[in-house]
Structures are given as C-alpha cells and as structure tokens.
Structure 1
C-alpha cells in the first residue's frame, strides 16, 4: 500500500498526484508560490487595468488565474473565470464572447443577490428594471448541484432560499432524481428577488436533466441588444455601474485555457485568429472599473502582436528561473509534511534533486509530473524514508520518454504530429552537439536531405545553432530540451 510509503516519507498523502490548479483548489492557497510580478498584476486588475498573461504551458498560468480570483474577491471585486468556449465560433466571435462575459458576470451577481437580498434596498426602480433586463437576457440556466458547487454556498442554504422553495413548492417529491436536476431559470431567480409582480407560469415548470435554453420572456427589441457589439459593451458598462451600487467595487474577467480549446487543435495560428477579434478592441479593454486578463500561450504572441496593442496593455511574462523551482516545491512539500520537511529532504542524494529540477526545464507542472513518476517507482520499496537514487533514475527516463511533446511544441510546419519523429531522429544521432556530417553518417544520406531535417529541428526549437564553429569551420547544432538531452545521455534512441 502506498500509505506505508507516505508514512515513511513523512507526507500525509502523495504530494505529486495532481498536476493542475483546478485539482488542487482545496489547498491551492497554501502551496501557491508567489512570482515577483504577482502583486503588481493584482493591483493593476483591481484598479481596472486590463493585462495579458503570457507563458509556456505548464508554467502556472491557471494557477495564477485562480489565485487572482480568490485575492480579487477578498477586495470586493466581482470576478469570473472564463475557460470554456464550446459554443463560441472560431471566426468573428466578439459578439459571442461579449455575451459569454455578460452571462458569467450576471449569473454570479444575481446569485450573490439571492444570498444577500438586503443589497436590493440600494436599488431604485430604474435599477431594478435594469437588473430584471440583465436577468432576462443573460442569466445562465444552471442546476441546483451547479448552483451549490460552483458558487460554494451549500452550507449557506436556508429554509426560505431559492433552492428549497424550488424543491418544496414547484417539484413533486416522487422522483428522487429531481433534487439534483432541478433547473434554476431566469424567471425563478427574478421571483426570488421579487423583481416580478406576479409569478409567471414558466417558473412553475419542471426541468430535469436537459440543459436546454429556457424562454426568458425577453421582448424582440430587448433581444436585439445581444447581437450588437456597441450595445453589448454599453450593457457591460451599465452592469458594472449597477454592481458598484452594492457590495462590489469593480469587475474583473479572467480568460484562461483558450489554447486548450479542442476546436483550435493546438494550432498557434488558429488560437491567434480565435482571440484577435476581442483583443484588438481597445475600447473594451479600457472600460472604467472593468479589467480583462487574458491568459495565453506565449507562442501566440508573435502572431497576435501584428494587430494587438501589447505595448498599450502590457503583458506579464510568466517565465520562471531554475532558482525558483526549489522554493516553489518547498511550499508544496511543507504543506504535505506538516511543515517538517523541505523538497531536498525527500532525496537520498542531493544531486538527484538537481537532476529533477534540470529536466523539468523551469516548468512547475513538469517538475510535479516528473516527481509523480519517481514516486511510482519508489512505491515498490515502501520502507525507504526518501526517494532512492535508482528510482529517481528510472523516473527521469520514464518522464522524458512518455512526455507529451505534442502539447509543448506548437505547430510550426503544419503537421504537429511530426514533432515525435523529429525528436526520434535527434535521439538516433546520439549527440547533444552535432554537425551535418554526424547526421549524414547516422542516416546514410546526402547533405541536402540532412539540411531539410535540421531545418525541421530548428523550426520546432528543438535545437539551435551554436556560436562556435567546428574544427573545419562547419556549423554546430546544440540540443535544447533537457529531457531530450537526458535521454541521449542514457543512450535512449526513441520516445513513446
């Protein structure tokens, strides 16, 4: 049992079993390692200044996004994270994204009002009419379970709240499935906030497992608002003014995981095209007391910079240094050991820790992922109080061979799948530094074919041209990725 290994290592559970911020929300705040730029970024967003957050995959963009959300909410900033884009078109999508922003903001805010109805006293008649319009147009239909989980109010539910009324007054208790499947609609929310003088018949309906759109009874003239860019931006501004009349001081929208949207196929050109419509809207990004932070793969910037004003809105570059890796991991290990051990205390040999840090290439996610492989090998000997060198060695090879290189290296040649074959060619050369002659000899081919292969390697940034020249004045090429370099040093000639 791995529990025995945890006992000997001195950890309450495996510290390396989860690789994403979303999986670690329960203790994310305790293990978060604050980068030097974090407080500046937090202050900028709080003051209504939009920012771009750029970084390589696995460098902690999502972790920073979730930390920002928590800290902004402490400062009374209405904050939403937008990381799902399933129904957004790939082209000319500004209207769709503006609607998505308003849906997320309105849904969160009216649920806040439902839990804190005293703030409604701050609204005059015109404010309430405007709030009612926002609910009709933008309130996102959700389930009771989503209501409780997403908005973290399960323990705050009182006998007279929206959920209990929905169950007791509108739903027949014969079907046990209903408790979790009841749909919270815009009409039901309006009723809870007493925005309707009469309860409409539509609020009496049962909504089970289907997430179909509910008729919000918005008029035709009202519905035209959601298809006009100018009107949507004006509505966003009006909504923020309404929000500031109550508990909140401003609003922040945090965009994340755009490059993970499946329809974009990890293609940097498609990602850039998907985001440019909204990122080029300077007027939107400069709205008072509304800040937008866009988390993006740094590889996309060169393409976007042709149209997006990075100079005007400033990007925050998430680029860690090797010296950050140990203190970053110290926070994690301290949490899981009850403040009794540091990262280095887990290793039999200090040089093993150094190898793990090097191979992770300044990526927090890769560092944790590598440690997960080492942990798996160490579980075969659960009597040890540290990670033995032999198991570290096995873990390093497994990590480097099974690594998802497809997600790390963007499509530069138009065929992202080619990166695996290119890496295998580098491994077959068996040298961390090589020249054209070495490639010719390895593959028994002429220089012309070799130069095409080297061009591919350069395009993927797997190698670079050294400043030095060889003994005969020839160019020397150096392997860049430490994972590939490690495999070469261990005579591995193929990745999985």
Structure 2
C-alpha cells in the first residue's frame, strides 16, 4: 500500500518515516535547511571559538550538529561528536568528560594516520613520543567491525589504502576476540604506526613531576594523568598541536543530546548539574584552536546562567519562524520526489496546509511527525496523488493526542507526569481562554483548588496570563500549545483513547 501511495504521490519512498538526524545521515545534507545563523556559527567554530547552541526539543539541534561536523571536516577541522554519556557521573564529572573527549579525539586521529601514514613524517621524535603516550592512555579498543566502520568514515588525503596490508601482516588468529570481531588495541595501533618507544628516564617529564622509569605500556604514573584536570587539558593542547602539524587546522568538540541522557530523567535541575562542571571551566572553553559547541535544551539556560558565563560565549538560539516551515519541509519533499513535488502541492486546499503548519508550532520534528500520521491515514486510499481532507483531519487529531508531552515540558522535580493531568483538566473545560470560574464550574471545586491548578499550568508553560482582564475583571489565562487548541476545537476532552 505504501509503495503504491509513494508512486502516485511521486515519492521514491515515504519522506515522513524518520524523525531524527541520526536516521537520515545518508541524505542529511540534501534535506538540510540552513538557518540564518549557520554560516556565522560554522566560521566561529572553525576559528576555535566555543559556542552554546540552545533550542527547544524537536527544533533541529542534532541536525545542526551533524551538518556542522560534515562542514567542519571539509574545512580540515578534527571534529568529534560526544552524545553518549553512559559512563559519566551525574555531578562533578569534568575529569570524566575530558577523558571522553581525549578518547574520541585520539581514536579518530590515529585512524586518520592509519589511512594517511605519510603524515607521520611531519612529526618529530617528541611528537611521536607524546602520540605514543596518548594512544596508550586514550585509544579505545575496537572490534574489527567497529574499526572498519570508523576507518571507512575517515578521509583519505594522500596515501594508498595500506591498512589491509598492515592488518593482514600484524593480526593473527591468536589475537583476543570480542564475539566474532578481532579486538584492535592501543598496542596494535602503536606497533602498526611504529610508535613503540624505547624505555627512557626522560619521556613525558613535562606532564609528570617525578618519574624514574617509563614502561612501554602505560605505567601507574602515566595513568595518573587521567585523573588530573590540568594534565588532561595540557594533553588536549598537545594533541591539537600534533594534529596541526599533519593535516588539521583546528579541533572541534560537538556535545549533543545531553538532555536525552536517560539517567537525568529529563529534569532540568539534573541536566544543569550534569553540565555545570565543564561549562564553568572558562579556561577550557577559551583554548586556542579547540572549539567546544554545547547543544542544550533552552529550558536549562535559566538555571545554568547563575554560574555559566553565557556573556563570554555567544549563544545561538535555534528558534524558527512560522514562515520557515514551508521552505524547510520543501527541501525534504524535493529530495524524495526527485524535484517534482513541493509541499503545497500535497494538499487539496490551502487551509489543510495552514493547519499542519500551525499545529507543528514551528518545530521541524513535529511537522514531519504530523505529516507521518497524515500519510498513514492516506494509505487507506493509495490511489490518491495528494493528502485528502479526511486524511489530514484524522492525522491532525492523532498527532495531537499521541504527542509525547512528557518529553517536551520541563520538570524540576521529576514529576512532569502531572503535565498529562493538567492537559486533561484543560481539555475538559473546552476553553482556549481559561478563568478560575471555568475550573470552578467544570469541576465543581472551590476557588483555592482552581487557583492552584492554574498556577501549575503556568509553571509548565501550558497557559499564560493575559495582559487584559475578562468581562467581569477576572484574570484570563490563554492556552499556548496549538495541538491542545486543535483538540479543543475538535471536541476532544481527553488525551486518552476514547
């Protein structure tokens, strides 16, 4: 059914089946809609200037992060994305995050050297000695499959693909195994690059206070480097200096999906505490030629701003305008239709298009998600070349009712499930403009109860107080979410399935 609908609508496949940048890496560049601030943000990061990227969920922070990575790498910036935090403590975690940054940088850089071995000739003995230490401390053991996947994503600049020869020469069946994959270790990498250094009594002295003997594998003294903020930042600087001697012009760390880390339970206070330790390190954020871009839920900023110097690091606010939505989604439609369809051509009448734009509330993800529901309903009549009015009507209701409201409304207490009960209270009043009297009448409650509920709704940003009073001088609170407004206009009184 979907294949037939795609054919009739001129799509090579369903354009609305995926909602995240990670799922769309294959064609992300083709559908990316460039915000007005993007060129400035890209230039800032290229020049080593750290930035904060703030935005609501679903507004494209991850999409921008992935596009930045692509464009930064074209500009010869050694770029990594940090978006997994499973082993990181929830508070006082700067050392752990610095170790994670170095792990990602070192692993990516030595894979680059594996693919472009001639660049090793640009390094002197001290550089190679430092690189050997970095590999011992930070290279992540990888299975053969993981190694090859990462290796395939590294740019080959000059040299031939010599890794297969090295791989076959060095690896033997006796090597340790993980499942069916061969473990690529720091020792193997160091050997393959010819970086195994003889034992000396002077190596790495700039990083340690007193060392009598350095072993060929990481010693307890060397391991202590991983517990020192000062030494970790110095190692990061040394690595950046080494990479600039070979191919790269700068280094960039892109942090993403912090607020989606499961252990933080979507609580803005926990998210703020998790990021505070590293974001308050002004020295780290101001390092030359090492830029850090931190993608954050905008709701976290008011808490972080008490300690984080947002005044020193320009913030980029991802906020779309209503008139951005059509050209943004047009990029996707053009890609999946081979430049034969536009967004406006998918609808019977303009009011359907306007309703879809309005309910998406200036969120690209919501717009795609809503269109996905409409698409599903349209499959019942797959002979159509447009989204028919009935499919649009049903799709809008389904989208508004199934929406993940819990993930969108901030919680400071971990009790944001109260949001659902608040929404159902609003829907039952059947009012877009609420007063205390409306709640008193609908629920047969006293003013004190109704006032408490309205205060909670304001806290969750479900409603806001109007500047003008009602006909009888009472306060009026207007519903903010267009999804909930749509449900009220359609007579829906609960998010639960009827």
* Fold shared, TM-score > 0.5 on shorter chain: yes
Distance 1:397 1:310 in 2: 40
Contact 1:187–1:216 (Cα < 8 Å) also in 2? no
Within 5 Å, which residues of 2 pair with 1:376-387?
376-387=376-387
- Counterpart in the other structure of 2:183: 183
Contact 1:479–1:485 (Cα < 8 Å) also in 2? yes
Distance 2:60 2:42 in 1: 16
- Counterpart in the other structure of 1:96: 96
Distance 1:346 1:71 in 2: 32
Contact 2:356–2:370 (Cα < 8 Å) also in 1? yes
TM-superposed CA distance for 1:179, in Å, is 9.3
TM-superposed CA distance for 1:161, in Å, is 4.2
Within 5 Å, which residues of 2 pair with 1:296-445?
296-412=296-412, 414-445=414-445
Flag structure 2 segments of 5+ consecutive residues without an equivalent. Answer: 199-214
- Counterpart in the other structure of 1:480: 480
Within 5 Å, which residues of 2 pair with 1:36-435?
36-153=36-153, 161-162=162-163, 165-166=166-167, 170-172=171-173, 181-196=181-196, 217-412=217-412, 414-435=414-435
Distance 1:140 1:174 in 2: 16
- Counterpart in the other structure of 2:24: 24
**Given the superposition, is the C-alpha separation of residues 311 and 159 from structure 1 closer, same or farther in structure 2, using an over 3 Å criterion?**
closer
How many pairs align? 478
TM-superposed CA distance for 1:149, in Å, is 2.1
Contact 1:162–1:189 (Cα < 8 Å) also in 2? no
Distance 2:411 2:129 in 1: 50
Q: What are the superposed Cα offsets for residues 290-338 of structure 1, whole Å, 9 maximum, x if unpaired?
A: 0000000000000000000001001100000000000000110001111
Contact 1:144–1:163 (Cα < 8 Å) also in 2? no
TM-superposed CA distance for 1:164, in Å, is 5.7
Contact 1:137–1:216 (Cα < 8 Å) also in 2? no
* Normalised TM-score (structure 2): 0.93
Distance 1:27 1:342 in 2: 18
TM-superposed CA distance for 1:148, in Å, is 2.2
Distance 2:387 2:88 in 1: 46
TM-superposed CA distance for 1:191, in Å, is 1.2
Flag structure 1 segments of 5+ consecutive residues without an equivalent. Answer: 199-214
Q: What are the superposed Cα offsets for residues 451-493 of structure 1, whole Å, 9 maximum, x if unpaired?
A: 1111111110000111111111001110000000000000101
TM-superposed CA distance for 1:110, in Å, is 0.4
**Given the superposition, is the C-alpha separation of residues 52 and 313 from structure 1 closer, same or farther in structure 2, using an over 3 Å criterion?**
same
Cα RMSD (Å):
2.1
Give secondary structure in 2 for the equivalent of 1:26. helix
Q: What are the superposed Cα offsets for residues 87-142 of structure 1, whole Å, 9 maximum, x if unpaired?
A: 00011100000000000000000000011000000011111101101100110111
Within 5 Å, which residues of 2 pair with 1:10-21?
10-21=10-21
Give secondary structure in 1 for the equivalent of 2:251. strand
**Given the superposition, is the C-alpha separation of residues 169 and 113 from structure 1 closer, same or farther in structure 2, using an over 3 Å criterion?**
closer
Distance 1:341 1:160 in 2: 42
**Given the superposition, is the C-alpha separation of residues 163 and 411 from structure 1 closer, same or farther in structure 2, using an over 3 Å criterion?**
farther
TM-superposed CA distance for 1:196, in Å, is 2.0
* Normalised TM-score (structure 1): 0.93
Contact 2:267–2:413 (Cα < 8 Å) also in 1? no
Distance 2:143 2:356 in 1: 44
Contact 2:326–2:343 (Cα < 8 Å) also in 1? yes
Contact 1:428–1:494 (Cα < 8 Å) also in 2? yes
Range that drifts further, 147-156 or 255-264: 147-156
**Given the superposition, is the C-alpha separation of residues 36 and 224 from structure 1 closer, same or farther in structure 2, using an over 3 Å criterion?**
same
TM-superposed CA distance for 1:19, in Å, is 0.2
- Counterpart in the other structure of 1:455: 455
Q: What are the superposed Cα offsets for residues 262-295 of structure 1, whole Å, 9 maximum, x if unpaired?
A: 0000000000000000000000000000000000
TM-superposed CA distance for 1:350, in Å, is 1.4
Contact 1:333–1:342 (Cα < 8 Å) also in 2? yes
